[in-house]
Amino acid sequence: MIEVKHLTKRFGDKTVLDDINMVFESGKTNLIIGQSGSGKTVLMKNLVGLLTPTSGDVLYDGRNFVEMDKRGKALIRREMGMVFQGSALFDSLTVLENVMFPLDMFSAMTLRERTRRAQECLDRVNLIDAQNKYPSEISGGMQKRVAIARAIVLNPKYLFCDEPNSGLDPKTSLVIDDLLSGITKEFNTTTIINTHDMNSVMGIGENILFIYKGHKEWQGNKDQVIDSTNERLNDLVFASDLFRKVKKMEIKEERKEQ
C-alpha cells in the first residue's frame, strides 16, 4: 500500500500538483488518469523519488519515503519495479540480457541463477522464444512485455507503469493490461498505472485517481465511472455525451447477459 498525503509539487510559482491525498492499494491495479498535462507523470516521479515533493508525504506500507535518508530510500527503491514511457530497453543487449540487467546490478546470484530467474520472467510474459533477439528485432508490444519482465525480475512490491499502452494497438493494449493485472494478483503488488487508455479504465480500473489540472477531482472504481455524474470525468472517459450514453447502455446490457 502506498499512501499519499497532502502532496503538493511546484515548479517555480507553477503548482503542478495541489494537495493530493490518495491510497494506492496492494493487490490492485491502481490507475491515475487525467488529460495530457494534468500531472500524472509528475505524480509518479514524486512517488518513486525522481522528483521531491514541495510538501506532503509518501508512505510505503507506513514508511515515510520523503523523510528518509539516502540509504533508506535506496532500500525502498529495491522494492520498486518501473516501466517507463517508451520501453527504455538497451538496444545493444539481447532480450534476456535486458531482463537480467537488474539482477546483474543488484543481486548476488550466480550467472546460472540470474539466467534462470530472467527466463522465468520472460516465460511469464510469454516471450521465452525471443530471449536471444535484440529489441530492434521485436515489435513494440513485445518490447513492452520485455520491459514488464525486467520490471518484475527483482520481485517488486510496488510496480509503476507510465502509459504502458502508448503506441500500441487496442488488442495489444489488452494483452498488456491482462499481464499487469495478472502479475498484480499473483504477487500482490501495489501497481500504479498512468493511462490515457479508456479501455484500460473500464477493464482494469480497480482504484482510479482522476487528476484535473493538478488536483484530485474524483476517485472510484470502473463500476463507479459508469454511474458517475462528474462532468469532467465523463468528458475524459467518454469524450462526448452521446458516446457516454451509448457506452453506458452497452455496459449495462453486457452485465445483464453475464
> What does the binding site for Mg ion look like in residue numbers (CB under 5 A)?
40-41
Nearest to 195 by CA among 162, 242, 238, 156: 162
Q: How far apart are the C-alpha atoms of 145 and 98, rounded to whole Å? A: 12
Tell me whether strands 2-11 and 14-24 are parallel, antiparallel or unpaired: antiparallel
Q: How far apart are the C-alpha atoms of 26 and 255, rounded to whole Å? A: 27
To Mg ion, the closest distance from the beta carbon of 40 in angstroms equals 5
Residue 34: contacted member of ligand ATP, Mg ion, none (CB under 5 to 8 Å, by partner type): ligand ATP
- Should residue 164 be labelled a site residue for ligand ATP when binding is judged by CB under 6 A? no
To ligand ATP, the closest distance from the beta carbon of 256 in angstroms equals 35
- Should residue 87 be labelled a site residue for ligand ATP when binding is judged by CB under 6 A? no
Q: Which regions of 99-174 does DSSP assign to beta strands (E)?
A: 158-162
Q: What are phi and psi of 191, to 5 degrees?
A: -105, 130
* Residue 139: all three cell numbers together: 515489435
Looking at beta carbons only, is 15 or 119 nearer to ligand ATP?
Answer: 15
Q: Which stretch binds ligand ATP (CB under 6 A): 38-46, 109-117, 134-142, 227-235?
A: 38-46
Looking at beta carbons only, is 41 or 189 nearer to Mg ion?
Answer: 41
To ligand ATP, the closest distance from the beta carbon of 190 in angstroms equals 20
Q: How far apart are the C-alpha atoms of 37 and 3, rounded to whole Å? A: 23
By the criterion CB under 6 A, which residues form the site for ligand ATP?
11, 16, 34, 36-42, 196
